[in-house]
Amino acid sequence: MNSVELDQVSRRYGRITALDGVSLSIPAGSFVAVMGATGSGKSTLLQCAAGLDRATSGHVRLAGHDITRMRERRLTRLRRDRVGFVFQSYNLLTELTVRQNVLLPVRLGAPRRRGVDDSLDAVGLGGLGGRKVGELSGGQRQRVALARALITAPTVVFADEPTGALDPTTGGQVLGLLRRACDHDGVTVVMVTHDPVAAAWSDRLVLLRAGRVVADDPTPQADAIAARLQNVFQAA
C-alpha cells in the first residue's frame, strides 16, 4: 500500500512551473527525504502531496484516496484525520500550554488515537503538559509540534525543514523521533531538508531540480548525499 502517489503532477503559478511532471510512489511506513536547491519545488511537492495545494495537472492519491478533484471540505477532513504536519517555524500557539497545543487537532474534530500524555512521553516531554509553549526552547517546541502531529496516529507526516531552526543536537533528537514514529508506529514520513545529515535519517532520497525528480534512490551516508547534491547543483 502506498501512503502517497503522485502521477505526472505539475503545478504552475502563472508562467512559473514549480513542479514539472513528477511521479512518485511512497509506500506506507517509509521515510523519504526530498532535497534540491532553493526554488526547485520541494515545498510545492510537499503541499501538493499533502492536499494543501492543488496540482495544475496530474493525479494525487493520499492515504488511499484520490484527492485530485476532491472537494475542499472532504479534503480538509482527510488531512485532519490522516495527516500530520511539522514545519520549520513550529506553527504553535505560544500563549497556550503544551497540552492545549497538542490537543488542537482534536479540538478541530480530529480523532484522538493516542492520549496526550502518551504523545508527550513519546517525544520526551512527559510532565511539561502544563507549560506555556512560549516558555520552551526551540527543540522542545518542535517536539510539541511532533506530539501534535502524532496524536491522531496519522498515516503520513509531512515535515518541511523540521530541523531548519534547530542546532545539530536538538535537530538530531527531532529526527530520531521522526525515525521512531516510522519504525515503531509505521508512520510514513515525507521530509524536505537542505541538510545532508538530516536526510541521512531517511530510507530514500528524492532529488529535485527545476521541478523534476532527477534522482530517487536508497539514502546513502551524509557525505555521499552532500557529494550527490553538489553534482545536481553543478549540472543545473
Binding region for ligand ADP (CB under 6 A)? 13, 16, 18, 36, 38-44
Shortest CB 230 distance to Mg ion, Å: 20
Cell of 150: 502524532
Q: Which is nearer to ligand ADP, 40 or 97 (CB)?
A: 40
146 three-class SS: helix
Shortest CB 44 distance to Mg ion, Å: 8
Q: Which is nearer to ligand ADP, 43 or 188 (CB)?
A: 43
Which does residue 18 bind out of ligand ADP, Mg ion, none, counting CB within 5 to 8 angstroms by kind?
Answer: ligand ADP
Which does residue 36 bind out of ligand ADP, Mg ion, none, counting CB within 5 to 8 angstroms by kind?
Answer: ligand ADP
Shortest CB 193 distance to ligand ADP, Å: 11
Shortest CB 42 distance to Mg ion, Å: 5
Alpha-carbon torsion, ordered 58, 62, 64, 70, to 10 deg? -70
Q: What secondary structure, in 3-state letters, does 76-91 show?
A: HHHHHHHEEEEECCCC
Which does residue 129 bind out of ligand ADP, Mg ion, none, counting CB within 5 to 8 angstroms by kind?
Answer: none
Cell of 114: 493516542
Q: Which is nearer to Mg ion, 43 or 219 (CB)?
A: 43
Binding footprint of Mg ion on the chain (CB under 5 A)? 43
Q: Which is nearer to Mg ion, 67 or 192 (CB)?
A: 192
Shortest CB 18 distance to ligand ADP, Å: 3
DSSP state of 12: E
Separation of alpha carbons 61 and 114, rounded Å: 25
Cell of 46: 510537499
Query: Which residues touch 149 (CB under 8 Å, ≥6 apart)?
Result: 84, 85, 86, 157
Q: Which is nearer to ligand ADP, 1 or 235 (CB)?
A: 235
Separation of alpha carbons 9 and 26, rounded Å: 14
Asked whether the beta carbons of 200 and 223 are under 8 A apart, the reply is: no
